[in-house]
Amino acid sequence: MNLFLDAFAWLADPANWTGPGSIPQRIAEHLWVSALVLVIASAIALPLGALVGHTGRGREPAVMVSGGLRALPTLGVLTLFGIWIGIGLAAPVIALVILAIPPLLAGAYAGFESVDRRTIDAARAMGMRELQVVGKVELPLGMPIVVGGIRSATLQIIATATLAAYIADEGLGRFIFAGLKTRDYGEMLGGSILVILLALVIDGCFALTQRVVVPAGVRATRTAELRSGPTRSRTIVGRPNTEGNQE
Amino acid sequence: MIEFRGVTKQFPDGTIAVHDVDIVIPPRKTTVLVGSSGSGKTTLLRMINRMVDPTGGQVLIDGTDVATVDPVKLRRGIGYVMQNSGLLPHRKVIDNVATVPLLRGESRRAAHAHALELLDTVGLDRSLADRYPAQLSGGQQQRVGVARGLAVDPNILLMDEPFGAVDPIVRAELQQELLRLQGELGKTVVFVTHDIDEAFLLGDQVVIMQQGGLISQAASPAEILAHPADSFVADFVGADRGKRALHVTEVDGRRVVVDADGRAAGVLAS
Ligand SMILES: Nc1ncnc2c1ncn2[C@@H]1O[C@H](COP(=O)(O)OP(=O)(O)OP(=O)(O)O)[C@@H](O)[C@H]1O
Ligand SMILES: [Mg+2]
């Protein structure tokens, strides 16, 4: 308990809230690093996942790659890149991007795959071009799952971005590493609490977003299905269309 | 006019869905493709708007091989009504109906105004315009599907078992509605069903298909009843039994038509 008192004392100390290396500055750095990582990882993983989900091709390699990346220990990757590239932001950003790609990729292809094949077929039959099928049908309908992937990636990034401080003077991890060094456990725990709070707040925002992006018509479907009782027909995802060929 | 010339479709897995088919589909008439499940009706239909490309032969619309036409352009000019309506679940009724006109670059306002008129045309209340497909009954969804198919005022309207998923009463209603519409609009309708009664009711020309994508007979309902091409057709249309095997009997000097079970079907007009 004493430790927590120390942590709260540290958090409450006005001296920690101003000047260089203050809590607000570290939070800003933490968010900035996380956002940077998210943007880079998204730019790589989302189009790739969308492509896999849209075409139904390359699913196996995608699963394998994300499984492989998931197995990499982030701290090890970070150390490796740290030794290779040197001190600074580059190594942690790369390590975090690697960490973030699997959930983003999985969310993107699962989201695109989840769209009813018959709906996609109908869109194509009406004369939508492939990009229009993606943008006007698959993306809006798959969005909740895609956002789910972004959400879990973000949570992991924010939690793991503490490691950036291991090798760069960035983020809330500084408090944890500094506290560890000086045996200031109040600072260490305080830093951890800040990371947790930050992660929870951001996750809450995503939870909300995830709800908002469910298309109104789809929400209507859910209530309609509730109305019609337990004989709820499940959408079959990822099956090839059996009526006709796909381009 | 739509013309199939020696058209074959073999899917990559080896299934021959359509085999060496020749049909001429006359303009401004309704042609019904009828046959049991898996006989290749949908495949044949979808070759008209290039949702399926034939592996042999040609499909021509007004003399032009569709293989030479950009599929997107082709599809935007052909109405297509699907089984289970195929509506976009995340779009309101009005936006579903206006989808293709919007794709073709019409202004939103014009497309919506026209979509509302189409709701009238297919007998839907305008108040449904702002609903989502999931908030409609099956019959209403099918009507929206028909409205969407008509939205670009296409010369050709493809309908794939459009009334398959609704109950018999609504189905009969929709059939009458389609007959009325066709009387007004005079489209080239290609209609798929596995219900021979529906085929005879709606079709000016009826194409009877059998397994393996073979055409048994293509003719008017009257001709098919009068001269079934073979025993398969005779059996399929039930020409020699039930309510189709009609006899004339004389009752009090009037000639009454009765079916195979002796039930009165009508009176011969003099
Ligand atoms: N994409 C595909 N790949 C392989 N075989 C297919 C494909 N689409 C259809 N087939 C096969 O081609 C045959 C004809 O199918 P089609 O969908 O045209 O039948 P249909 O007459 O429309 O049947 P239904 O009345 O059940 O809709 C069937 O044997 C079907 O299994
Ligand atoms: Mg079919």
A220 falls in which pLDDT band (50, 70, 90)?
A: confident
Enumerate residues 6+ apart whose C-beta is below 8 A from B210. Answer: B35, B36, B39, B216, B232
For residues B256 and B224, membership in a common domain is answered with no
What is the rounded average pLDDT of the residues A110-134? 94
Mark whether B145 and B254 lie in a shared domain. Answer: no
B219 with B203: CB under 8 angstroms?
no
8 A C-beta contact, residue A172 and residue A30: yes
Q: Binning pLDDT at 50, 70 and 90, where does residue A86 land?
A: confident
Residue B86 and residue B198 in one domain? yes
My answer on whether B213 and B257 are in the same domain is no
Q: Return the closest-CA partner of residue B8 out of B38, B50, B53, B66.
A: B53
Q: What pairs with residue B256 in β-bridges?
A: B249, B267
Shared domain check, B192 and B270: no
pLDDT of the residue at B103 = 92
pLDDT in tens, B148-168: 999 989 999 999 999 887 888
Least confident of A6-20, A229-243, B22-36: A229-243
Looking at the predicted structure, is the pLDDT value of residue B191 above 80? yes
pLDDT score of B265: 82
In chain A, which residues have their Cβ closer than 8 Å to the Cβ of B84?
118
**pLDDT value of residue A227:** 56
- The residue whose C-alpha atom lies closest to atom 22 belonging to ligand 1 is B42
pLDDT band for position A225 (50/70/90)? low
- The most confident of the ranges A78-82, A224-228, B1-5, B252-256 is B1-5
Q: What mean pLDDT, rounded, does chain A reach?
A: 87
Residues B251 and B228 in one domain: no
Mean pLDDT within B175-199:
93
| One-letter amino acid for residue A10 of the chain | W
Q: What would the mean pLDDT of A116-141 be, rounded to a whole number?
A: 94
Q: Which atom of ligand 1 is nearest to the CA of A245?
A: 1
Q: Residue B152: what pLDDT?
A: 86
Spatial neighbors of A140 by CB under 8 A, at least 6 apart, are: A215, B90
Interval B129-148: pLDDT, tens: 999 999 999 889 999 999 99
For the ranges A33-42, A68-77, A162-171, the maximum mean pLDDT occurs at: A33-42
Q: Quote the pLDDT of residue A229.
A: 45
For residues B119, B120, B123, B128, the Cα torsion angle rounded to the nearest 10 degrees is: 50
How many structural domains does chain B have?
2
Q: What is the four-CA torsion angle of A171, A176, A178, A183, rounded to 10 degrees?
A: 170
A74 pLDDT above the threshold of 80: yes
Closest CA in chain A for residue B79:
A126
What is the C-alpha to C-alpha distance for residues B63 and B157, in angstroms, rounded to an integer? 18
Domain region containing B260: 242-270
Minimum CA distance residue for ligand 1 atom 25: B37
Q: Higher model confidence: residue A191 or residue B243?
A: A191
The pLDDT of residue B182 is above 70: yes
* Six-digit token string for A83: 């030794």
Tell if the CB–CB gap between B86 and A121 is shorter than 8 Å. Answer: yes
3-state percent breakdown (helix, strand, coil) of chain A, nearest 5: 80, 0, 20
CB contact under 8 A, B42 and A244: yes
In a shared domain, residues B232 and B266: no
At residue A223 the predicted structure's pLDDT band, cuts being 50, 70 and 90, is: low
Contacts of B82 in chain A (CB under 8 A): 118, 121-122, 125
Mutate to test the pocket of ligand 1, among B19, B41, B191, B194 (most ligand atoms within 8 A of CB): B41
| Mean pLDDT on A175-197 | 92
Q: Are residues B183 and B143 in the same domain?
A: yes
Confidence class of residue A233 from pLDDT cuts 50, 70 and 90? very low
Is residue A118 exposed (0-12), middle (13-18) or buried (19+ Cβ within 10 Å)?
A: middle
Q: CB atoms < 10 A from the CB of B42, how many?
A: 24
Q: In degrees, to the nearest 5, what angle opens at C-alpha A221 toward C-alphas A215 and A226?
A: 135
Residue A192: pLDDT over 70: yes
Are A118 and B53 inside 8 Å of each other by CB? no
Mean pLDDT of B166-185: 90
> Which pLDDT belongs to residue A241?
42
pLDDT classification of A230: cutoffs 50, 70, 90: very low
Q: How distant is the alpha carbon of residue A198 from its chain centre?
A: 14
Q: Are B54 and B65 members of one domain?
A: yes
pLDDT of amino acid A246: 41
In what order do the strands lie in the sheet containing B264-267? B247-251, B254-258, B264-267
User: What's the gap in Å between B49 CA and the centre of ligand 1?
Assistant: 16
Tokens read off for B255: 């000639």
Answer with the residue of higher pLDDT: B249 or A114. Answer: A114
The pLDDT > 90 percentage for chain B reads 72
Domain co-membership, B95 together with B144: yes
> How confident is the model at residue B75, as a pLDDT?
96
Report pLDDT for A231. 42
Instruction: Using the predicted structure, report yes or no on whether residue A228 has a pLDDT greater than 60.
Output: no
Residue recorded with tokens 């309708």: B189
Percent of chain B with pLDDT over 70: 98
Reference A114, options A218, A41, A33, A198; nearest CA is: A218
Confidence at residue A127, expressed as pLDDT on a 0 to 100 scale: 94
Sign of CA dihedral B85, B87, B89, B93: negative
pLDDT at residue A232 above 80? no
ipTM metric: 0.86
Identify the CATH number of the domain in which residue B222 sits: 3.40.50.300
Query: Which of A121, A128, A218 has its CB closest to that of B89?
Result: A218
How would you label B22-32 residue by residue, b for 16+ Cβ within 10 Å and e otherwise?
A: ebebeeebbbb
CA distance A157 to chain B (A): 32
Work out which ligand 1 atom sits closest to the CA atom of B40.
18
Place of tokens 């989900």: A53
pLDDT at residue A141 tops 70: yes
Name the closest-CA residue to atom 18, ligand 1: B40
Is the pLDDT at B244 greater than 90, yes or no?
Answer: no
Same domain, B250 and B159: no
From B6-20, B174-188, B247-261, the region with the lowest mean pLDDT: B247-261
Q: Which residues line ligand 1 (CB under 6 A)?
A: A 242-245; B 11, 13, 15, 17, 35, 37-43, 194
* Chain A: residues touching B (Cβ < 8 Å): 116, 118-119, 121-129, 132, 137, 140-141, 215-218, 220-221, 223-225, 243-245, 247
Please tell me which of the candidates A215, A223, A224 has its beta carbon nearest to residue B90: A215
Q: What is the pLDDT of residues B205-215, one digit of tens each?
A: 999 999 988 99
| Token reading at A150 | 């972004």
Give the number of beta-carbon pairs within 8 Å between A and B. Answer: 88
Domains present along chain A, CATH in parentheses: 24-228 (1.10.3720.10)
pLDDT at A168: 86
Ligand 1 center–CA B73 separation, angstroms: 25
User: What percentage of residues in chain A have a pLDDT greater than 70?
Assistant: 89
Q: Domain check: are B237 and B262 in the same one?
A: no
Q: Taking 50 as the threshold, does the pLDDT of residue A218 lie above it?
A: yes
Could B86 and A221 be called an inter-chain contact, meaning their C-beta atoms sit closer than 8 Å? no
Q: Are B119 and B147 in contact (CB under 8 A)?
A: yes
User: Which pLDDT score is estimated for A2?
Assistant: 84
pLDDT interval class at A219 (50, 70, 90): confident
pLDDT attached to residue B256: 87
Q: What is the pLDDT of residue A113?
A: 93
pLDDT at A197 over 50: yes
pLDDT per residue as tens digits for the range B31-72: 999 998 999 999 999 999 999 999 999 999 999 999 999 999
Give the integer Cα–Cα distance in Å for A217 and B59: 37
Q: Is residue A192 within 8 Å of A176, Cβ to Cβ?
A: yes
- What does the alpha-carbon distance between residue B57 and residue B23 come to, in Å, rounded to a whole number? 12
Residue of chain B minimizing CA distance to A128: B72
